[in-house]
Amino acid sequence: MRNVKHPGTQSRGNGKGQSDPQPQQQQQQLRQRHPEAAGAPGPTGALQPGTEAPDFNLLATPDQRVDLNHFRGRPVVLVFYPADWSPVCGDQLSLYNEILPEFNRHAAQVIGLSVDGVWCHTAYAQDRKLHFPLLADFHPKGAVAQQYGVYRDQDGVAERALFVIDEDGIIRWSYVSPLGVNPGADGILNALEQLDAEKSRANAGLSKEYAHA
């Protein structure tokens, strides 16, 4: 986790902060509030790598709930987005839909979340033929987005934010994109590849220990 980069923090945190001291102050305040977190919230407030992913239990369809803990043992990609039907979302979620075989290669589960209700999600997922669950962060509105630090109070919707969670439920990569910009899939795939690489390194280390024993 220590190695997985967080471009959102880098681009804003480095160097140029002097002309705009506010984000730094904010960050400090946030750090003071959460001194225990290995990865304190960045300028956007999004939970950072190293943080345990808060559990949630949300409706995916009118009669089906999805629990994050249920996916322990495999990586999870959380995709927060502002709203169903908005044009950029369509592109972003459709893209992930197309790349599902790639995510499957890493055994990763993709989950979309927005503040839309289940009926809206159902219609949207059907229209776009999405093959991964969309969760309704609907009541209390945006509660999960808030827990992850990606709720936009001023607009009442979630940020366009990505989290890659490892098989132990720890956030290993997170990224917040400007609302109107499709963040693509490259960052997610990089993070998943890194997880796989670390895992095989760890496995190699283990088998070496056994060999010595």
Partner 1 sequence: MLDPGQTATLKTPVDERRDHIRGPRDAAVTLVEYGDFECPHCGRAHFILQDLEAMMGDRYRLVFRNFPLSQIHPYAERAAEAAEAAGAQGLFWEMHDTLFEHQDALEDEDLVAYADEIGCDLPRFQMDLLQGRFRERVREDFLGGVRSGVNGTPTFFINGRRHDAPWDLDALAEAIEMAAMTQGPGGADDRGGRHL
Q: Give residues in contact with partner 1 (CB under 8 A).
A: 5, 7-8, 10-11, 91-92, 94-95, 97-99, 102, 128-131, 177-178, 181-187, 189-190
* Residue 128 vs 141, nearer CB to partner 1: 128
A 10 A CB-CB count for 183 gives 21
Q: How far is the CB of 212 from partner 1 (least distance, A)?
A: 37
Size of the chain in residues:
213
The rounded distance, in Å, linking the Cα atoms of 151 and 37 is 19
Q: Do 95 and 181 contact (CB within 8 A), yes or no?
A: no
Q: How far is the CB of 182 from partner 1 (least distance, A)?
A: 4
Which residues, other chains included, contact 199 with Cβ-Cβ below 8 Å and sequence gap of 6+? none
The rounded distance, in Å, linking the Cα atoms of 137 and 142 is 5
Quick one: DSSP state of residue 129?
A: T
**What is the SS3 assignment for 113?**
strand
What stretch of H or E contains 26? helix 21-33
Residue 89: active-site member:
yes
Quick one: DSSP state of residue 170?
A: B
Q: How far is the CB of 128 from partner 1 (least distance, A)?
A: 7
Q: How far is the CB of 4 from partner 1 (least distance, A)?
A: 10
The rounded distance, in Å, linking the Cα atoms of 180 and 30 is 26
Q: How far is the CB of 139 from partner 1 (least distance, A)?
A: 30
The rounded distance, in Å, linking the Cα atoms of 89 and 81 is 7
Catalytic: which of 47, 59, 68, 89? 89
* Residue 3 vs 32, nearer CB to partner 1: 3
* Residue 83 vs 88, nearer CB to partner 1: 88
A 10 A CB-CB count for 161 gives 25
* Residue 181 vs 206, nearer CB to partner 1: 181
* Residue 67 vs 98, nearer CB to partner 1: 98
Please give the positions annotated as active site: 89
